[in-house]
Structure formats: structure tokens, C-alpha cells
A and B are shown apart, each in its own frame.
Chain A
Amino acid sequence: MINRNNSIRFTDEQAMILESAREFCRDKSPVPVVRALLKTETAYSEEVWQQMVDLGWSGITVPEKFGGSAMGFGSIVPLAESMGRALLVTPFFSTTLAAQAILRAGSAQQQEAWLPKLVSGTVATLAWLDGEDWGADNLECKVTTDGDQYRLDGVKWHVADAGVASLFVVITEADGAPALALVTRDSLAESAITPHTLIDETRRAAKVDFTGVTIEASDLIRGEQVDSALHEIRLLGALLVAAEATGSAAACLDITVEYLKTRKQFGKLIGSYQGLKHPTVDILIAMDSARSHIYHAASVVDDGPMSNDAEIACRMAKALATDALTYAGDRAIQFHGGLGFTYECDAQLYMRRAQWAQQQFGDSYHHRKRLASLLLD
């Protein structure tokens, strides 16, 4: 069924959040700072992360009773777009999504035990993939009873911020049904974490071996709500990445336009040539599409179950935003000429970000394939 929900709601309050987020990210994350962080172990500034926590960003989607401000998941979109624009990376995404998992599937005790900590800056992350396939169930990692306790068996890939996370929300299977295991860092073996070498050097992720880890029954989340929570978090994760990618695409467009306005060849500014001008307009148009879709998605997602319109919106946003960034990064390299081929040129930062973003929570085709079922059947 074709859906006709084209709403975009954006309040003055959200406009203020966007304004201050843009300013914060621009101040804290100029490109030299981004480049300096590439070489560090964690790839982020603890100080900036703490400032974001102090601003309340880590609790923006969390209910007030756990110390959050309960502004709804849509309020994350302007934050994520601003972070993407400045290539500012912190454990914000990992922690936000882990909090959503506990909020949407966990018990009252689990929420009380963890959410106030996450709001105050304790890093948590999802351990999701069994390999490369976002379309799989990813339940190869099993949990079985071990006396009064439970024992995990399996390896998870692409675990974001694994090196600094205090809590891992592991997507697993118990008695043939999906379950979430809350695993603390101190229960992992020293050798359990093997860092990946990521294409996007602004981020960190690792392969984590949970084999042999034991947890208490109170740290296992089971029940029907796990299924729907997983469905919802995949889509919210896709929206977060889409919003961030839109910001990065806008920044990539800016540096490309700047170069086209200053670089001369054959006696003319290269931006005057239609061969470069028109594809640059295409970048703008792709970025514009992505931005319209992320703010539409922000208007239709909420804290409850995911509506059909919201699912469509998140999938479209993800497909369009990461394609926009991929195109922007690709053309940015090309239009910078020989310079564009160097590590020194900032275009590579966006190109690498694009390749990473494309692969998070399903690539464009993954989402279009599911949109086809939602829209055509």
C-alpha cells in the first residue's frame, strides 16, 4: 500500500536544539581535532562526551523517572545530523540504542538498574551481528541454562565502541526465541575483544567473543516484546545513521563547493564548468531529499511501537541518506583532482564515512527490498 503520510513537524523547541547542537559540534569538532582523534585508541574525546552528557543528550529519549528528558526519539535527528556535519563521534549512538533496547524490552528492574547510569554517561552498546548479514536473524549466539545461571556461546561482529563499553546488550537466542543478554564488561575474558580495522577511521568497533560468559537470570530479557523491540531498534538505528550521514553529506558538499569556487584550471574557476557544476547540484538535491526524509521520519517515529508509516520513513531515510553521502564522497574525491586522491585531502573522511554508513543497519538495497514489500504488495 502506497502511504501518503508526508508530515514534517518541527517545533521551535526542536529548532533551538538544532541550532545549539550545530554550534556545539562545530566548536568541539573542527577538522584538525577530528584528524587528531583518528590516531587515538578510542577515537573520541572523553571531555566532549561528558559535555554532551551534561547537556542532557544522553538522556534525551529516556523517561524523566530515569533522569532523562523524554523528548521522543525524533529529537535525536537534529543532534545526529549536527554530529555528522562535524564528523563528531562519541559513544552517543551505541549508548542511545542500548538504552532503547532496555526501554523497549527490559523489565522495570533492569530499566532502573541501567538507564540512570546510561543517562549519566556510562557507555553501553549493542552486540548484534553474527557476521556480515543484516538480513539474517543473527541468533547464532545462544544462551543456555547453567545451574541457576545462563551461559552464552557465540561471537558478535561489528560491536561499536566495544573497547569502552561497560555494558553489552547481546542479541541472542534462548529456547528457540530471541532474547537479550545484559553482559557487563568485567564478565568478559581479557582476550574477548578483537578490534576491527574500520574503513571509517573516526569510529571504533570490535569482534567480541561471548563464549563462556555467564549471566544471572535477572540479566536475561525474554518474551514477545524482544521480537518487536529488535524490529524497532533496527529501524531507529537506521534513522540515526541516516541523520548522521545527511549531516556528513552537507559538509562534504560544502568543502566541494568551496574548492570549486577557488581552484582554477585552464584560466577559469573549475566550478564554472558544467561538467562539475551539474553533478554538484545533484549532490545538493540528494542531500535535500535525505534531509526531508530524516525530518519526516523524526516526525512519525515515537516511543511506542513502530507504525507502518514510521517503518517506511526510516527505511527511505536510510536508503537515501547513505546513497547521498556515498555520491557526495565519491564526487568530492574526483572533483578535488590529484589532491582528492591524497590522505591529506578531507574528501577521504567523507568517502570513508559513506562506506561505513552504507553498511550499518542494512544497506540501501536491503531497505528498498523491504520497502517494495511494504509499498507494492
Chain B
Amino acid sequence: MTTASQQELDDFRAQVSAWMKDNKPADPGFLLPQTFMEVGSERVLEFLREWQHKIWSAGYLGMAWPKEYGGGGMEPIFQNIVDKEMKRHAVPICFNVIGLSWTGPLINDIGTEEAKKKYLKGILSAEDVWCQGFSEPDHGSDLGSVQCRAERDGDDYVINGTKIWTTMGNYAKYMILLARTGPAEPRKYDGLSFFLAPMHIDGVDPRPIQKMTGEYGFCETFFTDARIPASTLMGKEGNGWKVAMQTLQYERGAEAGAAGGLMAVRTVVSDLIEELRHVKRDGEPVLHDPVVRDRLVQFLMEEKSLSLGERRQAHAALNSDYPWSLALSGKLRASEFAREMRKFAVSVQGAHGSLYVGDEDALAGGFWQRAYFNNFSTTIGGGTSQVQANIVGERVLGLPKD
């Protein structure tokens, strides 16, 4: 709810829209990332850093965060308006997502005064890039089993171990790190602690991983006797699991508090349809082909199902048999829908579907090819689709565990 009048909101929207129109960056001549997991080079990083800084400087990011830490101290509705305008104007993404959407809300909610002063402003201004150290090479979907060690030694913790899928690890100044402080705890979850760890110190070695797209974006991060101050501990020692779970609530959008900003360029079926207007098959526009038309209609139906599902969640009476169904199946459905749709987008281009990013004749610069490949980060990351299906089967339908 808001105290602002409709007139004020309308005026604000018009003002934001005008700003976006005037300040939307020109085409940089290279394919920009759809998500923050695709920041694979310095030039992309610097381009996005400058863009986010510009948005924040204009007062359009972190608008609901407290003023004293770099925010706007305003009602969230203003940020919502900005986010919608960013989407509408198809501007580049706000890339510092782990800071803006996960770490920032966490610090705002449970951080110390010192942490708020030290970290929040840099997250918004894009000066401080953040990364996340949860997954490990041997523990992908099973987060409770992380092995990376943090041993107390005087005023420091000494970190040893390996983290993987550290998005922007090679550019990040800080990491939210989940590490094991109590290896002897009978419950594995009680042995975990959560740190706001510095990255630019001795003993931390983030090595970029080349993705199947040919690009970079993730790292494998090696810790070898890296010493971080004990003051970087978030909450108490042994409380890390709880803090990590709270972080995941922000990540999944189940908990409010994110700074805002456009987080990802989503693909919608109507984009694909527009893209196909000039593609031919059997000497005719591909959009005349009955099989292609039927597939597109099916994608449009599923896309609408996802939007309608969000609306239906608001009506408890329409969800009384399986109340958690729509909420818990959302990630599975949205990521698998996008994978199928993008896969189809490549297959329907005729011979040009075999061209890739870098070929000047590729349809839309190879956008759909890259989008399809990158989509696997959403069907694998954050719990694979197969794990998601187990979660839905067990928690929604009450089926027995494996």
C-alpha cells in the first residue's frame, strides 16, 4: 500500500520513462548478457558497471533501502514502477544481482550497523561486485553437506576448500560464503557458518570456467589458507545453515527486500514469432507451416499458464487440494518452458540454425542459440529440474522419498 496519490505515481512513471528513453545505452556492438551469469569479459563487466552506476546515481535503484546506506528511503511501489519501465524500455540488466537481490536484503534484515555502512552502498553503486560461495564440486544440489573449512585462529578464520559456480568470482570483491566451522557436529547443518568474505586477499584463487556456450561467467574458487577477519561472520558460528536458507528465500523471491532493477532479459514467445516473420520453409514463410504454428500455439498456451498460475495463487479457494503446487512447481515449469521454447527457436531457423554467435549472418546475432545453451543454467542451477520434480512430488503430492 502507498500514501502516494495516483497522480504522483503517474507523474513519476512518466519521468522514469523519459529518463530511460534518454539514457538507454546505444548498442555496444557485442551481444549483452540476458542474465548476470553471462558476464564473461571485462568489456561486458565495465559496460554493465557503468550502466548500473548511472541508474543508481539517477536515484532509480535501491529506492526502498534506507537513505543512510545509499538507498532512497522511499516506498517500494516507486521501485516497482522503475523496474517495469526498465523492462518496457528493454534496457540492459542490473548485473550485481547477488548483492542487490540476496546479500543486500540479508544485511538490511539481520546485518550489524557496521555491515550496513560498509557494504550496502557499494552494492548499489556497482563499485563492489558480489559473488556467492555455496555450491562445491562434490555437493551441487545437496547444500547441507558443504566441506569447505573455516577454522578459527585468533581474530581470523582460515579458509580451505573449493567452491564452484561462483558467478563473477573473478570480478567480485566480496563473497557470501558458507563454510564448515564444526566438522564434529552430529547434525551436519549445525557445523556451518556464514561469512561476508573478502575476495581480494591472499589464498583466494577464482579460476574462470569456460561454459558450453564458449563464454565465461562462472569460476571455480580455490581457498588455500585464506585468512578472513572473524568480524565477517554473519550471525553466530554454527548458524550458517539458517542464514543460507534465509538467503535462498530472497533468491527464490519468496522474501521481499531486493534493491530492484531489471535482473534478466526474459524471452517471450511473441519475440520468437516476430523473429520468424522473415524465415522461410518449403519456399513459404515458416509461420505458414501447420506444424510450426501448432508448436507456437502450444508455447503460447504454456506461457499463459505460467502467468495465470501467478494470478490463481491469490485465490486460496482455487488451490485448496494442493495449496503449495503453484509456488513449488514455478521454477521447474518456467525454466523447462524456456528451455523447450528456445530449443525450438533454434531448430526452426532452417540452415541458419547452425550459425552461432560471431557469425554476422546468424539470426539476431545468434541470440536464440546462446539463449538456449545458457538456459541450462536455470534447469540445473538452484536445484536441477529433476530435484525440483522430487520436491514437488514429495512436498506437494506427499509421495514417499526415494
Q: Does B273 contact A (CB under 8 A)?
A: yes
Q: Which of B236-290 contact A (CB under 8 A)?
A: 269-270, 273, 287, 290
Q: Does B298 contact A (CB under 8 A)?
A: yes
The minimal Cβ–Cβ distance linking A12 to chain B, given in whole angstroms, is 8
Check A257 against B399 for contact (C-beta < 8 Å). yes
What B residues does A2 contact at CB under 8 A?
Answer: 269-270, 273, 300
Max count, chain B CB within 10 A of own CB: residue among A261, A289, A365: A289
What A residues does B304 contact at CB under 8 A?
Answer: 6, 293, 296, 316
Of chain B, the residue at the smallest CB distance from A295 is B318
What B residues does A316 contact at CB under 8 A?
Answer: 301, 304
Q: Does B88 contact A (CB under 8 A)?
A: no
Query: CA of A341 to CA of B304 in the docked complex: distance in angstroms?
Result: 36
Check B402 against A274 for contact (C-beta < 8 Å). yes
Check A271 against B400 for contact (C-beta < 8 Å). yes
Query: CA of A269 to CA of B396 in the docked complex: distance in angstroms?
Result: 17
Q: Does B31 contact A (CB under 8 A)?
A: no
Tally inter-chain residue pairs, CB-CB below 8 A: 135
Which of B51-59, B203-211, B325-333, B353-361 is the interface stretch?
B325-333
Query: CA of A180 to CA of B301 in the docked complex: distance in angstroms?
Result: 34
Check A250 against B297 for contact (C-beta < 8 Å). no
Contact status of A292 and B301, CB under 8 A, knowing A281-B392, A281-B393: no
What A residues does B333 contact at CB under 8 A?
Answer: 285
Q: Does A369 contact B (CB under 8 A)?
A: yes
Q: Does A371 contact B (CB under 8 A)?
A: yes
Check B300 against A375 for contact (C-beta < 8 Å). yes
Q: Does A260 contact B (CB under 8 A)?
A: yes
What B residues does A261 contact at CB under 8 A?
Answer: 398-400
Q: Which of B344-372 contact A (CB under 8 A)?
A: none
Of chain A, the residue at the smallest CB distance from B317 is A15
Q: Does A158 contact B (CB under 8 A)?
A: no
Q: Does B390 contact A (CB under 8 A)?
A: yes
**A interface secondary structure, majority:** helix
Report the contact-size class of chain A (Cβ under 8 Å from the partner): 35 or more
The minimal Cβ–Cβ distance linking B336 to chain A, given in whole angstroms, is 9
Q: Does B294 contact A (CB under 8 A)?
A: yes
Max count, chain A CB within 10 A of own CB: residue among B294, B297, B302, B333: B297
Of chain A, the residue at the smallest CB distance from B402 is A272
Q: Does A26 contact B (CB under 8 A)?
A: no
Interface string of B386-398 (1 = CB under 8 A from A): 1001101110111
Check A365 against B399 for contact (C-beta < 8 Å). no
Q: Which of A13-52 contact B (CB under 8 A)?
A: 14-15, 18-19
What count of chain B residues pass the 8 Å CB interface test? 44
Q: Does A208 contact B (CB under 8 A)?
A: no
What B residues does A6 contact at CB under 8 A?
Answer: 304, 307-308, 311
Check B399 against A272 for contact (C-beta < 8 Å). yes
Query: CA of A284 to CA of B392 in the docked complex: distance in angstroms?
Result: 9
Q: Does A291 contact B (CB under 8 A)?
A: yes
Check A272 against B301 for contact (C-beta < 8 Å). no
Of chain A, the residue at the smallest CB distance from B326 is A288
Query: CA of A260 to CA of B317 in the docked complex: distance in angstroms?
Result: 26
Q: Does A376 contact B (CB under 8 A)?
A: yes
Query: CA of A110 to CA of B167 in the docked complex: distance in angstroms?
Result: 71
Query: CA of A278 to CA of B312 in the docked complex: distance in angstroms?
Result: 23
The minimal Cβ–Cβ distance linking A247 to chain B, given in whole angstroms, is 10
Check B317 against A277 for contact (C-beta < 8 Å). no
Query: CA of A288 to CA of B304 in the docked complex: distance in angstroms?
Result: 12
Query: CA of A293 to CA of B309 in the docked complex: distance in angstroms?
Result: 9
What A residues does B231 contact at CB under 8 A?
Answer: none
Query: CA of A8 to CA of B307 in the docked complex: distance in angstroms?
Result: 10
Query: CA of A277 to CA of B396 in the docked complex: distance in angstroms?
Result: 12
Check B297 against A372 for contact (C-beta < 8 Å). yes
10 more A-B residue pairs beyond the given contacts A261-B398, A278-B390, with a C-beta to C-beta distance below 8 A:
A2-B273, A8-B308, A18-B318, A261-B399, A277-B390, A278-B386, A281-B392, A320-B301, A368-B294, A368-B298
13 cross-chain CB contacts under 8 A: A2-B270, A6-B308, A15-B317, A18-B317, A277-B389, A285-B333, A289-B301, A291-B318, A316-B304, A320-B301, A368-B297, A368-B301, A369-B290
Give the top 9 A-B pairs by smallest Cβ distance, nearest first.
A292-B308, A15-B317, A289-B305, A271-B399, A372-B293, A277-B393, A8-B311, A272-B400, A6-B307
Residues of chain A at the chain B interface (Cβ within 8 Å): 2, 6-8, 10, 14-15, 18-19, 250, 253-254, 257, 260-261, 268-269, 271-274, 277-278, 280-281, 284-285, 288-289, 291-293, 295-296, 316, 319-320, 365, 368-369, 371-372, 375-376
